[in-house]
Amino acid sequence: MRGKAQLWGYGEVCTPEFEHLELFTMRSGEGIIQEMYAFEDKGGRQLALRPELTAAVLRMYVNEGRTLPKPLRWFYFADCFRYERPQKGRYRQFWQFGVELIGADTAAADAEVILLAHDLLSSAGLTFEMQVGHLAPMRHLLSGLDEHSQRAAMAYLDKRDFDGLAAHLADAGQDALLQNLRALVAARSLDELTVVCGDIPETERIRAVVGILEGSGISYTLNFGIARGLDYYTGTVFEAFAENLGAENQVLGGGAYRLAHLFGGDDVGSCGFAIGFDRVMVALGNSEQQRGTVVALLFTPEVQARAFEIARTLRDAGITVEINLQDRGIGAQLKHAGRSADFAVILGPREYEAGLVTLRDLRTGEQHECTLEETVDGVKGRDARR
Ligand code: HAM
């Protein structure tokens, strides 16, 4: 994922594990506040372990990055903390791989971030469904509600809890909205969207994003029922869902937002997402760690110094070397090497005198004396044939 993000021009950033609590309470929404690990430090400051990085990265932008040429393309791979009930795919400490594109408020910027998200998940080998939406149609339908009530309705929509939504709308005297909201959530094309909420100013932007996504050929579905759990989003929003994860199948969430002005910066438009890295790993299932060819370096005590030199030469040539560290004979060393290595390089007094080593292929049992250059060629030749 790091390599892919760099190919798109994104550079890695780091922020502290904890921040002032206020950074997250300002705009992230009720849900996240309840889930935070908040504490007071010895100086009486209210702090929180970061539940996510967007607010922290935008604080960093305001403090350190305001004069840099925009847009800024940043990514991070970091652990986050949320006080939730742990279950499969939901942890109190988990990892996010995320990106923030700061200072470009265009359809092209929204599309770039969605395409990058798609590229990262695909390159991880994941089977997933990408859903793309925009908050404007939902907010347009809910515009008769006050802000608090609107947020509550969006929280129900975010959880696809239509019973809760129906009760909430009834309390607010807006029962009639339910049918339209259901139709909005079911809309899968721009035409269906227009039927539900007419032509709103944001349609142009939505059409432009969809145009770029269509041109790129990625597979995705439109979903105008995406509300997102965090409160700072302003426009395009998107989520991705993976197979075989059960209830916690959302592996990615993101969208366009404005946060910098809350932290004393300019009101820049930004767009980003975070991938739930642990969920990606669970979805991919157990995979053997790829391990290259390993050489075990065995030796008799009197030639130890030369053995360490040989180990360095082989590592300089890019070969993985595990040198013997135990006080035991060559026979015992060989037996151990047979369990952990592909080749043994053996150095005894005879080889030392001749300026050679014995190279033994541990799989076939073949062995011969050779120079260090021949050893490198022999090991790498096998590597190349793999
Ligand atoms: P989020 O949807 O709260 O968005 O989290 C992003 C992803 O983190 C989720 O889709 C999920 O895969 C993973 N995740 C969340 N909570 C947990 C947990 N308790 N255990 C395991 N995985 C979890 C954000 O955090 C935004 N900051 C994304 C963003 C970046 N928006 C704009 N820029």
Model confidence at 323: pLDDT above 90: yes
Model confidence at 31: pLDDT above 90: no
Q: Which residue's CA is the nearest one to ligand 1's atom 2?
A: 253
Q: Which residue's CA is the nearest one to ligand 1's atom 16?
A: 90
CA distances, 323 to each of 41, 111, 361 (Å): 47, 51, 16
Query: Following CA atoms 226, 1, 11, 16 in sequence, which dihedral angle do they give, to the nearest 10 degrees?
Result: 70
Question: What would the pLDDT profile of 361-377 be if each residue is shown by its tens digit?
Answer: 999 999 999 999 999 99
Which residues does 100 contact at the CB level (< 8 Å), separation at least 6? 53, 54, 57, 58, 61, 72, 74, 75, 270, 271, 272
Question: What would the pLDDT profile of 143-175 be if each residue is shown by its tens digit?
Answer: 999 999 999 999 999 888 999 999 999 999 999
**Which atom of ligand 1 is least distant from the CA of 52?**
25
Q: What is the pLDDT of residue 243?
A: 85
* pLDDT (mean) for 344-357: 97
**Helices marked H in 217-348:** 277-284, 304-316, 330-340
Q: Cα(351)–Cα(91) distance, rounded to whole angstroms? A: 55
Q: What is the pLDDT of residue 27?
A: 77
Confidence of residue 381 (pLDDT cuts 50, 70, 90): confident
* pLDDT (mean) for 15-26: 94
User: Which helix or strand (DSSP H or E) is residue 98 part of?
Assistant: strand 93-102
Q: What is the pLDDT of residue 26?
A: 86
* Pocket-testing residue among 94, 126, 159, 258, ligand 1, by greatest number of atoms within 8 A of Cβ: 94
34-45 CB burial, b ≥16 within 10 A, e <16: ebbbeeeeeeee
Average pLDDT of the chain is: 94
Model confidence at 314: pLDDT above 80: yes
Q: Which residue's CA is the nearest one to ligand 1's atom 15?
A: 276
Question: Shortest CA distance to 279 belongs to which of 87, 101, 112?
Answer: 87
Question: What would the pLDDT profile of 88-129 be if each residue is shown by its tens digit?
Answer: 899 999 999 999 999 999 999 999 999 999 999 999 999 999
**Which atom of ligand 1 is least distant from the CA of 251?**
12
Q: Cα(54)–Cα(99) distance, rounded to whole angstroms? A: 9
Q: What is the pLDDT of residue 287?
A: 66
> What separation in Å is there between the alpha carbon of 352 and the centre of ligand 1?
58
> What separation in Å is there between the alpha carbon of 39 and the centre of ligand 1?
22
Pocket (CB within 6 angstroms of ligand 1): 52, 54, 82, 84, 89-91, 94, 96, 98, 100, 229-230, 250-255, 257, 272-274, 276, 278-279
pTM: 0.86
Confidence of residue 56 (pLDDT cuts 50, 70, 90): very high
Question: What would the pLDDT profile of 231-272 be if each residue is shown by its tens digit?
Answer: 899 999 999 999 878 888 999 999 999 999 999 999 999 999
Q: Which two tokens stand for residue 167?
A: 């009760």
* pLDDT (mean) for 33-47: 93
> What separation in Å is there between the alpha carbon of 349 and the centre of ligand 1?
60
DSSP string computed for 129-190: EEEEEEHHHHHHHTTTS-HHHHHHHHHHHHTT-HHHHHHHHHHTT-TTHHHHHHHHHH--SH
> What separation in Å is there between the alpha carbon of 195 and the centre of ligand 1?
32
Q: What is the pLDDT of residue 292?
A: 83
Residue 175, CB-side half-sphere exposure with 13 Å CA sphere: 3
Question: Which range has the worst mean pLDDT, 15-29, 45-59, 314-328?
Answer: 15-29
User: In the chain, what percentage of residues exceed pLDDT 90?
Assistant: 88
> What separation in Å is there between the alpha carbon of 346 and the centre of ligand 1?
51
21 and 48 in contact (C-beta within 8 Å)?
yes
Q: What is the pLDDT of residue 48?
A: 96
> What separation in Å is there between the alpha carbon of 167 and the centre of ligand 1?
28
Cα 295 to its chain centre, rounded Å, is 34
Q: Cα(109)–Cα(121) distance, rounded to whole angstroms? A: 19
> What separation in Å is there between the alpha carbon of 97 and the centre of ligand 1?
9
Q: What is the pLDDT of residue 63?
A: 95
Confidence of residue 29 (pLDDT cuts 50, 70, 90): low
**Which atom of ligand 1 is least distant from the CA of 280?**
12
Question: What would the pLDDT profile of 185-211 be if each residue is shown by its tens digit?
Answer: 999 999 999 999 999 999 999 999 999
Q: Which residue's CA is the nearest one to ligand 1's atom 21?
A: 90
